[in-house]
Amino acid sequence: MLNIKEFETELKEHIIPFWRGLRDEDFGGYFGLVDFNLTIHKKAVKGVILNSRILWFFSEASLIFKDDSALRESLLSEARHAYVFLRDHCVDHVNGGVYWSVTYDGKPEDTIKHTYNQAFSIYALSAYFKATGDSDALKLAFELFVTIDDICLDKNGYLEAFTEDFKPAGNDKLSENGVLADRTMNTALHVLEAYTAFYDVSQSILVKERIRELLTLFADKIYDPKNKRLNVFFDNDYKSLIDLQSYGHDIESSWLIDEAIDVLPEGFLEKEEYERLRNMTESLAESTYERAFNGESFKNECEAGVVNEHRVWWVQAEAIVGFTNAYGKTGDGRFLEAATALWEFTKAHVIDKRPGGEWYWEVKETGEPYEREIVEPWKCPYHNGRMCMEMIKRLSIQEKK
C-alpha cells in the first residue's frame, strides 16, 4: 500500500537535501549541471526553467511542512534565494519577460523569450507568494501574465518562441522528433498549469477566463478522441504534424486538467463543458493504463506505432499522481494498484541510491540506468518533488474519509 511516510521521507532525506546542496552562495541561484558521476559543474549555464522550478519546489515544500517550523524556515530560505536570483538575473527589465538561460554568474546567456518559460515563472512566483505573502512576487507574476496575454496569445491560442525584444522566432526549444512546431501541447499544458496556480492566489477574472479558453482549446484542438490521446506538435492551425503519443504528457494532463477544472468557481463551466472535460481526462488515464503501463513501470512514448521503452524519471512520477487521481475519481482499483506498482519500481530503480545522488534521468525497462545528467536545464525537482507532495496531500485526504 502507498504510505505517506515514505513520500515524506523521500522529500526530507533525499530530494530536499540534494537540491539544497546545489545552492550557489557566490553568484546566486542553483548550480545548473550535475553530470552522471555526480560532479557539480559550477560554471555551467543556469536554465531559467530549472531555477523557476527550484523556486516553485522550495516554496511548495515549505507549505507541505508548515507544521515543522525549523524545516519550514530552512525551505523558505532556499525559496527566497531562488526568488532573488529569478528577480534580479532572469527577468529582462528592459524588454520584459524572462530569458531562456543565464550564465553561471547571472548574465543573459540565451535570450530567447519562450511562452513556456514565462509560464513556469508565473507558476513559481504564485507558489512563492502563497508561501510568503510577498506582494512584489505577485506583482511580477502579473507582469509576466500581461506579457503572455499581450504578446504570446493570438486568436488561435498560444504562440511559442520570440527574440529578446519579442519578435517571432523559431520554436526549436519545444520541438522534437524531427519536426519544428508552430504550436505545442506542452506549452498550452503548462500555461494552463501556471494560470491554475496564479488564479488560486489572485482570483483574477481575466485569468479565470483564460483557463476556460485553454480547457476549450484542449477539448477542441489538442485532444484526439479517435485515438484517445493528446496530439503533441501542430502547425499554426492545429493540424497535427506527427503520429505521436507522449504517454507521460497524457497522464500528466489527466490530472492537471482536472486541477484546473477544480480551481474554477462552481457553476462557472456549463454542465456539458464540465462533463466533456472530465470524460476526456478519464479517457487519457484509461488509454495510458492500457498502452503504457506494463504492470510495474510506465513507457515513454509511441511514435508511428514504435514504442520508446525508456523509463523516464518524470514520466514515472506523473503516472503515480495521474493514476492516484484517476482512482480518486472513479474508485477503480486498477489505478491504485498501478500507482503502487509504479512507486515500487521507482524506489527500486529510478531513485539514485548512490551517496549524493537524487533520481536517474531514465532507466531501462529492466531498471539499469542510462548515463545521463542528474541535473541540467530540464532535470529538476519539479516532477519528483511534486509527486511526493501530491501523494502526501491525496493520501491525507483519503485517510480522513
Per-residue pLDDT 10s for the chain (401 aa) are 899 999 999 999 999 999 999 999 999 999 999 999 999 999 999 999 999 999 999 999 999 999 999 999 999 999 999 999 999 999 999 999 999 999 999 999 999 999 999 999 999 999 999 999 999 999 999 999 999 999 999 999 999 999 999 999 999 999 999 999 999 999 999 999 999 999 999 999 999 999 999 999 999 999 999 999 999 999 999 999 999 999 999 999 999 999 999 999 999 999 999 999 999 999 999 999 999 999 999 999 999 999 999 999 999 999 999 999 999 999 999 999 999 999 999 999 999 999 999 999 999 999 999 999 999 999 999 999 999 999 999 999 877 76
Identify whether the C-beta of residue 354 lies closer than 8 Å to the C-beta of residue 24.
no
- Which structural domain range is residue 352 located in? 4-400
DSSP H helices, 234-270, are: 247-263
**Cα angle for residues 83, 84, 88 (degrees, 5° grid):** 120
Identify whether the C-beta of residue 32 lies closer than 8 Å to the C-beta of residue 376.
yes
Q: Which parts of 226-343 are beta strand (E)?
A: 229-230, 233-234, 244-246, 301-303, 306-308, 311-312
Predicted confidence at residue 111, as pLDDT, reads 98
**Cα angle for residues 122, 88, 28 (degrees, 5° grid):** 105
Look up the pTM and report it: 0.98
> DSSP character for 188?
H
**DSSP string across 353-371:** -STT--B-SEE-TTSPBP-
CATH code of 173's domain: 1.50.10.10
Q: Total domain count for the chain?
A: 1
